[in-house]
């Protein structure tokens, strides 16, 4: 079945908010066998919402809308849907009950605007919002379906997981999209493509290989429509793995920190970090994951040199002699943080993320990464680029990938 | 002038990559006076790219495309553009020179696939890519313009900043979009809308008020087309500020961490953080900003209780008596981190981010935030929600906002 996603809100068109909803919905529906034909974003304007629905229904069987359903005057979706489906708003007691229970849970007072949320288009089926006050609306029209959801990400996500996806699956028989993904690192996209040119040429009909570059690594995704190709897909991914072996880090479409977390838990290892230039970003990536407390102990974010000396016992002479971005400094950092916080594994980074150039005119993007596993220490120098934000992200990924490879070796 | 943005790539439609390019472009063009009519994303498929261009040209004068211009076989944009503009690829020596210089800078070897990048549609004007190998293509057709750019964010951003936006400004006389934004915190969107209902009703024609909820705060944006309304806009925002005074944090559309960073620099203050549940996210937000090293000293990410006791001198008895998520513990954390790292300001947080419930069955989302400015300590309890990722983001924002308000008071 073909799906289109329409996200609604002026904040998307003026670029104040990143459209993470479309990505999340696309990811969920794809993995449940839908094909996303297109994604579009329009402003809080009835005419544009109306037209977007009209255009999308020409190409797709199912439309998923988010946004524009709040209680404030700039939200136009509900009225536009009434227009589109030739219906009118009517008061819905069950929606009011749901709103009251949500407000009670949060200890908040209902006001007049909140009551407005209980008016819904008469011809829609209402799905109660489990997390918030704006109801989810399900419309049907000549075998096509439109679902309107709130734009608040966790409200929309809960509604999709618990209600909308199960209801859609009940209605449609779907061809499964099967794919295998792996992570490679330490090679450019064009070099990788050259290495894989013959492999791509020889792929069976219907198979496609995609290159998905991230900061510090590239994901390769091999995919095909139809569950019957699963065995063939497995064989092809084995062939691919042989070709990219020196750069291969891991299978799966998980994030580097998820892969690391699983490895640490499986081997019952503990981790600490000592971050200079990444300023806590490695710790943040790791602690975003629910089970972080099982293996992660803590981080010393030694942004100022004084903290490196005071809490990480980095020798002032080493900093003076070799510079703060050096093999010697990160190795002392990685060694001492694992001793101080008593962990089997540790990661340390020091680098110049820009825009200012480093000590002794060292160029922006120079970074040293050290990882420690039991008594072994490995350190590598990288040149990550010139954009501060990307440099921090790339360095964090490279550091995590370095530890994954190091643990994998033993 | 009306603009539409089309982002191209299968990775967008299967939800593997978040479309940050569209947001960035929308933000830049809006602030330069363009109106974004719509944003759409399509896959790497010639037919869909062709149709998206066709539909968008009906509504807009300028189309900005990103993606699908890499050297690999899954990139289809260049061929589709040849089809659309009835032209063919031809070899361009200047593009080759640019590619060679980029590869030289990065110490990489050219391969055959890279040469393919030097073939460009004959009828396009080529803008050299300053950061990468895929050229930027500028097409004109009956007073309408299409610009095709690479999907790699920093390559696209540099091209937009240095070439595309200046070229577009030269071509079009534009009506300026003027807006004022402020941040409020500690009130729900519907309560805020109730308070502002009369204000909205009395707004002069053409003015619009938007509510942009973020995690931990709401941005209010008041806007109007046309520079001549600037004085009126200033007066309206003053009126608005009076109404929301108890919840008002700051003017401007900057992020909380940017506002904090500016305040710290202006007052020549230094900052340290002690993070438990946010796991380094506050430190990361602060160190993403270029000038962080001017005021930020470091963080102790005390994920395990042992680190709280060992590096933050939190009394084990306090943890036993009051629980690790308590006023008493965060106040010891905030006090000791500022003493250990010798800073005038500090932030400390401890909470249960979920999904597991806390010590003594404390509910997910319970969090204590303490801030210290000179010898003063303030601490507040919050209930942030049930989703781990949002809880971490909301807690980090609330902590930063708490310190902004505290510094502002003195």
- Per residue, the 3-state secondary structure of chain B, as one string, reads CEEEEEEECHHHHCCCCCCHHHHHHHHHHHHCCCEEEEEEEECCCHHHHHHHHHHHHHHCCEEEEECCCCCCCCCCHHHHHHHHCCCCEEECHHHHHHHHHHHHHCCCCCCHHHHHCCEEECCCEEECCCCCCCCEEEEEECCEEEEEECCCHHHHHHHHHHHHHHHHHHHCCCCCEEEEEEEECCCCHHHHHHHCHHHHHCCCCCCEEEEEEECCEEEEEEEEECHHHHHHHHHHHHHHHHHCHHHEEEECCCCHHHHHHHHHHHCCCCEEEEECCCCCHHHHHHHCCCCHHHCEEEEEECCCHHHHHHHHCCCHHHHHHHCCCCHHHHHHHHHHHHHHCCCCEEEEEEECCCCCCCHHHCCCCEEEEEEEECCEEEEEEEECCCCHHHHHHHHHHHHHHHHHHHHHHC
User: Inter-chain contact B290–A356, Cβ cutoff 8 Å?
Assistant: yes
A18 at B interface, C-beta within 8 A: yes
As a whole number, mean pLDDT of residues B144-153 equals 94
> Three-state SS for A281?
helix
Residue A107: the pLDDT is: 67
Residue A386: the pLDDT is: 75
Say if strands B345-351 and B296-301 run parallel, antiparallel, or are unpaired: unpaired
Question: Which of A69, A156, A67, A149 lies closest to A113, judged by CA?
Answer: A69
The pLDDT of residue B410 is above 60: no
As a whole number, mean pLDDT of residues B69-78 equals 82
User: Inter-chain contact B114–A209, Cβ cutoff 8 Å?
Assistant: no
Closest Cα in chain B to A24:
B15
Q: Tell me: the pLDDT tens digits for B283-300?
A: 999 999 988 999 999 999
The answer to whether A57 and A3 are in contact (CB under 8 A) is no
Residue B227: the pLDDT is: 84
Q: What is this model's ipTM?
A: 0.75
User: Inter-chain contact B303–A281, Cβ cutoff 8 Å?
Assistant: no
Residue B106: the pLDDT is: 65
User: Inter-chain contact B48–A37, Cβ cutoff 8 Å?
Assistant: yes
Report the distance separating Cα A101 and Cα A85, nearest Å: 30
Report the distance separating Cα A136 and Cα A127, nearest Å: 5
Q: Tell me: the pLDDT tens digits for B365-394?
A: 899 999 999 999 999 999 887 788 889 999
Closest Cα in chain B to A299:
B301
As a whole number, mean pLDDT of residues B120-143 equals 93
Say if strands A177-184 and A217-225 run parallel, antiparallel, or are unpaired: antiparallel
pLDDT < 50 stretches in chain A: none
Say if strands B217-225 and B208-214 run parallel, antiparallel, or are unpaired: antiparallel
Q: Which helix (H) or strand (E) holds A274?
A: strand A271-275
Chain mean position to CA B15: 19
Q: Tell me: the pLDDT tens digits for B160-210?
A: 999 999 999 888 766 677 889 999 998 988 899 999 999 999 999 989 898
Nearest by CB: A38 against B18, B41, B212: B41
Question: B275: which chain A residues are within 8 Å (Cβ-Cβ)?
Answer: 280
The pLDDT of residue B234 is above 80: yes
Question: B26: which chain A residues are within 8 Å (Cβ-Cβ)?
Answer: 12-15
Nearest by CB: A194 against B112, B304, B354: B112
* Integer-rounded Cα radius of gyration of chain A: 26
The pLDDT of residue B409 is above 70: no
Q: In chain B, how long is the greatest CA-to-CA distance?
A: 78
Question: B67: which chain A residues are within 8 Å (Cβ-Cβ)?
Answer: none
Residue A103: the pLDDT is: 80
Question: Which of B120, B119, B7, B121 lies closest to B53, judged by CA?
Answer: B7
Residues B144-157: b if buried by 16+ CB within 10 A, e if exposed = ebbbbbbbbbbbbb
Interface test with B, best of A50, A75, A299, A394 (most B CBs within 10 A): A299
Residue B179: the pLDDT is: 87
Burial class (CB in 10 A: 0-12, 13-18, 19+), A26: buried
Nearest by CB: A307 against B43, B112, B298: B298
More confident residue, B39 or B365: B39
Report the distance separating Cα A347 and Cα A272, nearest Å: 7
Closest Cα in chain B to A194:
B113
Question: B19: which chain A residues are within 8 Å (Cβ-Cβ)?
Answer: 18-19, 22-23, 39
Residues near A299 by Cβ (< 8 Å), separated by ≥ 6?
Answer: A272, A273, A274, A275, A280, A282, A283, A337, B279, B280, B299, B300, B301, B303
What is the token pair recorded at A157? 């996500």
Structural domains of chain A in order of their starting residue, each with its CATH number: 2-171 (3.40.980.10), 177-251 (3.30.70.2860), 256-409 (3.90.950.20)
What backbone phi and psi angles, to 5 degrees, belong to A113? -60, -35
Residue A232: the pLDDT is: 95
Residue B173: the pLDDT is: 65
Provide, rounded to the nearest whole percent, the portion of chain A with pLDDT above 70.
Answer: 98
**Residues 313-352 of chain B whose Cβ lies under 8 A from any Cβ of chain A:** 340-342
Looking at the complex, report in whole angstroms how far the Cα of residue B81 sits from the nearest Cα belonging to chain A.
19
pTM for this one?
A: 0.77
Question: Which of B111, B16, B151 lies closest to A188, judged by CA?
Answer: B111
Measured distance between the N- and C-terminal CA atoms of chain A, rounded to whole angstroms: 46
Question: A210: which chain B residues are within 8 Å (Cβ-Cβ)?
Answer: 10-11, 74
Question: Which of A174, A168, A161 lies closest to A33, judged by CA?
Answer: A174
Looking at the complex, report in whole angstroms how far the Cα of residue B287 sits from the nearest Cα belonging to chain A.
6
Residue A174: the pLDDT is: 63
């Amino acid at each position: 079945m073909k799906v289109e996603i329409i996200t609604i809100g002026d904040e998307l068109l003026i670029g104040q908010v990143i459209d993470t909803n479309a990505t999340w919905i696309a990811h969920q529906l794809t993995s449940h066998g839908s094909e996303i034909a297109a994604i579009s974003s329009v402003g809080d304007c009835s005419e544009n919402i109306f037209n977007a629905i009209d255009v999308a229904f020409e190409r797709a069987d199912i439309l998923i809308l988010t946004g524009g359903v709040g209680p404030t005057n700039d939200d136009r979706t509900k009225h536009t849907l009434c227009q589109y489906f030739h219906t009118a708003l009517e008061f819905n007691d069950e929606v009011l009950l749901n709103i009251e229970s949500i407000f009670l849970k949060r200890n908040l007072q209902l006001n007049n605007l909140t009551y407005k949320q209980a008016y819904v288009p008469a011809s829609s089926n209402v799905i109660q919002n489990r997390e918030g006050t704006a109801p989810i609306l399900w419309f049907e029209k000549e075998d096509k379906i439109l679902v309107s959801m709130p734009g608040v990400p966790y409200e929309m996500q809960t509604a999709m997981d618990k209600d909308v996806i199960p209801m859609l699956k009940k209605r449609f028989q779907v061809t499964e999209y099967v794919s295998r993904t792996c992570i490679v690192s330490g090679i450019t996209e064009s070099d990788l493509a050259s290495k894989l040119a013959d492999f791509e040429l020889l792929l069976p009909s219907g198979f496609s290989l995609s290159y998905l570059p991230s900061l510090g690594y590239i994901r390769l995704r091999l995919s095909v429509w139809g569950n019957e190709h699963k065995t063939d897909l497995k064989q092809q991914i084995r062939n691919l793995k042989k070709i990219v072996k020196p750069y291969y880090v891991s299978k799966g479409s998980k994030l580097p920190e998820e892969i690391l977390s699983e490895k640490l838990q499986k081997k019952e290892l503990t981790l600490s970090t000592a971050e200079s230039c990444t300023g806590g970003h490695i710790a943040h990536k790791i602690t975003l994951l629910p089970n972080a407390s099982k293996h992660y102990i803590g981080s010393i974010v030694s942004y100022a040199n004084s903290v490196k000396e005071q809490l990480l016992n980095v020798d002032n002479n080493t900093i003076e002699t070799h510079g703060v971005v050096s093999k010697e400094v990160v190795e002392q950092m990685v060694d001492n943080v694992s001793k101080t916080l008593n962990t089997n594994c540790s990661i340390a980074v020091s680098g110049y993320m820009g825009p200012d150039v480093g000590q002794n005119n060292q160029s922006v993007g120079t970074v040293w990464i050290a990882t420690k596993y039991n008594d072994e220490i490995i350190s590598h120098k990288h040149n990550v680029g010139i954009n501060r934000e990307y440099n921090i992200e790339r360095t964090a990924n490279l550091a995590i990938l370095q530890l994954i490879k190091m643990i994998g070796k033993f």
